[in-house]
Amino acid sequence: MMNADAVLPSSYAWLIIGLFSLLWIWLGWRLGRNNDTLDDYMLAGRKVGIGFAVATAMATWVTSNTTMTAPQLAYQLGIWGMVGYSLGAVGLILFAPLARRIREMMPEGYTSGDFIRLRYGNTAWRIFLVISFFYSLGWLISLGMAGGLLINALSGIPYVYGMTVIVVICTLYTVFGGLKAVIGTDFVQTILILLGVIALAVLVINEVGFDAIHAQLETERPELLNLLLPASIMFLFNNLFFGVGEIFHSNVWWSRAFAFAPGVGLKAYALAGVFWLPIPIVAGFIALAAPALGINVPSPDMVAPLVAGKLFGLGGAILVFVVVFAALASSLDSVLAATSDLIVKDIYKGHLRKNASGPELRKAAVAIILGLGALTWVLSVPKMATLGSLLHFTGAFVASTIWPIAVGLLFRKGNGTLASLAMVLGTASGLYAYFAIGFYVAALVSAAVSMLVMLFALMSKPTFDWAELSEARSNPDGEVS
Amino acid sequence: MISAAGLEALVVPALVLTCVAPVVLIYLVWRDVQEKSLW
C-alpha cells in the first residue's frame, strides 16, 4: 500500500534506514566482541557508568509513542494531553530509590522474577511472570506495528517492509552485543532524538511564534487551551499509574538496576526522569502549530510530521524520520533483551533446566532473542488493530504489581499469599473497569485495589528475612570455564 | 484558558531543559569512556 500523503520520498527513507542499520549493527558487534560471561552478555558486566545509564533509561522510555503520540494528544486533548504524557517521567523518578535498593539487596540478581520468587514464593512468581510476559508481548507488538505504520506514513514504504526492517535490525544487533549493544546504541539514539526535537521546536518558535499559535488555536480549537477538561485530567492520573506500573515491574528496568555500576542507579534514574519530562511537552508544542500553519490534518497521529514537512520541507521530513526510527529502535532492542533475560532465567533455568551452566544459558539467550524477534514479526504481520491495542489493555495488569513490589522492597511485612491476591484482584478489577467505564481508568482501579490488599500486609508483623534475597547468586552460572 | 504567555512559560523552560540534556549526557558519557565503563 503506497501512501500519497507521505512527507519523505521512499528513496531517502531507504538510504536513512540503510545507514543507521549499518551503524547500529557495527556498534553492536564492536561493543559485544569482548563479552565473555553471561553477566557480560545479559547485564553489560554490571558496571555501566552514569552517562550510559542515564542515556539508556531515557532512550528506552522515549518510544515512538513519545515522539508521535504526545503531539497527537496535544492535538486531541490540548495542554493537559502533553502535560499528562510528560508525567510518565514520574515512574522513572520513583524507581530511582528502588533501583539503588535492588542493586544493594541483590548484588548478583538477574531479573525482576528473581526478586518476586525469593520475596514472595513460587505462586506469586508465576502470576507475576504471566503479567510480565503479557505486557512484554503487548509492548513488542506495539513497537513492531508502530514501526511498519510510521515508516509507511512518513515515506510510503509498504507496512510489511518497514516493520520487517526494524524488527530484524534490532534483533540482529541485540544478538551480537547483548545489553552492551542495547546501551551503546541507546546513547547515540538519545542524542539523535533530542537534537531532532530541539531543532523542530526552535524552528517552530522562530517561524511561527507563540502569539500566532495561540491566536489561531483560540479561533479554531479553543478547547485545546482549556485547563478544566475532566476527561483529560482523568487521563493524566491514569497515565501516571500506568507508567509507574510499567517501570516498577518490567524487567527492562530491573535488568538496568542490576547492570548499572554500584552507586549509579539512584542518580541515573532520577536524572533520566528529569531529562525525559520536558520531551513530550516540546514534541506536543510542535503539533499545536498546525492550525497557525493552515495545515489540514487528515489524522491526528500525522500532525507532527505534517508540521515539520510544511515548515522545513525535505529537511524537516528527514529529521522526523530519524527521530522516529531512533525512538523505535531504542525501545525495541531493550524489550527484546530484557524479555529474553526473563525467559532464560525464570523459564529456561527456573522451570526447565535448573542445573543449566553459564555457557548453556548464554547459548539459550541467543536462541531466545532470535525467537522473540521472530514472534514479534509473526504477530505484527497481520496488522490487526486488536493486537496493536494490546499494550493499552495491559494497564490493568501492570498497575496491580506496583504495591506488591514497593512493599516487598521496602518492608519486611507481607507474604506471598497477599502479594498474589493483590495482583489477581487488582488485575480483575482493572479489567472490569476497562470494559465497564473505559480505558482511562483501568490502571487507576487496578492500582487502588492492589493497594487495599497490600495495606493488610503493612498492618501485619514483619516476618521476611532480607538475607533470603541474597540467594540470587551468579556463581557458578556467571562463570565461563 | 491558558494565555499565550502561559503557553510560552510552559514550553520555553521545557525546551531549555531539553537543550541541557544532550550536553550533560555527552559530558557524562565522555567520562564513562575514559573509565571504560561499558567494555
Q: What is the pLDDT of residues B3-34, one digit of tens each?
A: 899 989 999 999 999 999 999 999 999 889 98
| Residues in chain B closer than 8 A to A48 (CB atoms) | 37-38
Distance CA A476, CA A456 (A): 39
Choice between A388 and A217, residue whose per-residue pLDDT is larger: A217
- CB–CB contact B25 A54 (8 Å): yes
**Lowest-pLDDT choice from A204-208, A239-243, A446-450:** A239-243
Mutation to test the B interface, candidates A192, A194, A277, most B Cβ within 10 Å: A194
CB of A289 within 8 Å of any CB in chain B? no
Mean pLDDT of A143-154: 87
pLDDT at residue A391, as a whole number: 78
Q: What is the pLDDT of residues A323-380, one digit of tens each?
A: 988 998 999 999 999 999 999 989 998 999 888 999 999 889 999 999 999 999 999 9
Residue A117 has pLDDT above 70, yes or no: yes
Residue A45 has pLDDT above 70, yes or no: yes
Quick one: pLDDT band at residue A65, thresholds 50, 70, 90? low
Report which secondary-structure segment, H or E, holds B26: helix B4-34
Residue A2 has pLDDT above 50, yes or no: no
- CB–CB contact B29 A48 (8 Å): no
pLDDT at residue A195, as a whole number: 92
Mean pLDDT of A295-314: 79
- The overall average pLDDT reported for chain A is 87
> Which residues 143-182 of A are in CB contact (within 8 Å) with B?
180
Max Cα-Cα span within chain A: 71
- CB–CB contact B1 A225 (8 Å): yes
Distances (CA, A) of A112 to A5, A12, A396, B30: 44, 42, 19, 30
| Distance from the B18 Cα atom to the nearest Cα atom in chain A, whole angstroms | 6
Residue A4 has pLDDT above 60, yes or no: no
- CB–CB contact A278 B15 (8 Å): yes
